[in-house]
A and B are shown apart, each in its own frame.
Chain A
Amino acid sequence: MTALKYILRDTWRLIVNHWVLGLLTLITAGVMLWILGITTLFSLNLEHLLSRLESELAVQAYLHKDSTLDIEEIAQRIQDLEYVYSIKIYSPSDSLAKLQEKMGSQSRALDILGDNPIPYNFEIHVRRAEDIDPLVDSLKAMPEVEDVVYAGMVVKRISALSRISSRVAVIMFVLAVIITALVVYNTIHISLYSRREEIAIMYLVGATRAYIATPFVLEGTLLALIGAIIAAGGIVGAYFPGMDMIQANMPLLKSSLLTDKAIIWRFCGLLAGFGATLGWVCSYLVVSRFINSITRPE
């Protein structure tokens, strides 16, 4: 307990003695973590939106009109295919009723057709847009299936957008982590370098490496944590008004956005934890390296 008091006092001294550098680190860490948080939230929203769109994507598989096979058995075989999430069977009469409903007042035109020309068909849903193509290939390979209808271009665009958004998020994440880590690393290195003689003296008069190192590690961790908390505050301040604006202007997206406050607060908590961990790891690395080099006997 006594040692902890001394260590906390020394940490405070370090922060006060290098307050300009500390402030700079805090601001940089805050800005980078804010960018990291906002990019991640943007990416999460996009993923959420895409997964909703993807879940609404359907492949329509039509059987041969004169097919005499057991419909339930074919449906089960399709259900067993790798990419299928759900399947719904439409009888010819169901399909016609659906079409009539869609056509509304123009549905009388269907009477010209005489007999119902629509065969048994299945509406098949997938989990991801990129599953559509292999599913279509599998369906086309089935002899009972006469035709497969799906929105090919939409599928490809959604799939591409999903890939790009994931890559951008990963790049932003890596960049923000590297920049924050470098800034914390350099701050602690400068702090250590400016006190290198003191550190050597401390070690010479009997201070343990842990006693010398802990205030520096705490300094780095604390700066990154405060930076992350500021970033989290900035995210909350920007995210909810931003979401309100998007929902007001694009009502279609309303149900596809992440607006649950509990999720966003939890995300901010994670960001603060991530910032503190990043600060701790960077400080620990630089302090161990530095103290090793300065205390190694020749």
Chain B
Amino acid sequence: MLHIVVCIKQVPDSAQIRVHPVTNTIMRQGVPAIINPYDLYALEEALRIKDKFGGFVTVITMGPPQAENALRKALSFGADDAILVTDRAFAGADTLATSFALASAIRQIEKNMPVDMIFCGKQTIDGDTAQVGPGIAKRLNLELLTYISSITSVSAGKKEIVVQRRSEGGVQVLKTRLPCLVTMLEGSNEMRFATMPNMIRAARTTVKRWDRIAAGIEDVTKIGLKGSPTVVSKVFAPSPKTVKAEIVQTESNEPQDLVGSLLMRMFTKFPHVREELEKSATV
């Protein structure tokens, strides 16, 4: 039986985030929190492995108390156990401090049941760094497999895994030993629709809450703001383009006239665009 730990993060749905027009701060109020979409690919892949080979899936997140909702949702998809690592001391963590805390919590999980694989998303949509996965792998001294587009085979007995990894110019087929840490690429699968019994089970399960001590962390200088080498020194809105588009209009506003007028204006003002066209046009 394989024990898979999936790291998920609850993030604000960035599609619905707005910037306060006056204070230039993020308006999180009323923005729904979702499971980081990339993490769903990781979770689904873990569940598929469990379906195929038998196994146990533990989901873990480090976050504020509300992040429990994300874990409950993961349970409804079919995860077996859920752990919320939450403590005020974690506030303000950057990726180095986050990976320290998660790695430490995973070591605690391991005390009950050895871990064969850790799954992460490719990146989060709020932090967007893609650094936490590699960070956890290095801290736990695990093989790191990033940007995995598919898992070709898992051999539970031989403790071996073969995967396809996206690289810039192609796909690497890699073979490695378990335990390892995998970050899944988007589009690698599609999250299942939870069954009603799983929904009910998830609603009834108590999510475990671990504070710093339960997560095995003694040294507070390694976590939260203190444990973060990076500091955000400034947050600001991109300088808005002051010039709006020149709207092309003609008397008739017929397509032919509009595009004619566009070309004339554009070629007069930007002769280099015309040169570029001549270079690349084929017909």
Q: Do A and B bind each other?
A: no
Q: Name A's B-contacting residues (CB within 8 A).
A: none
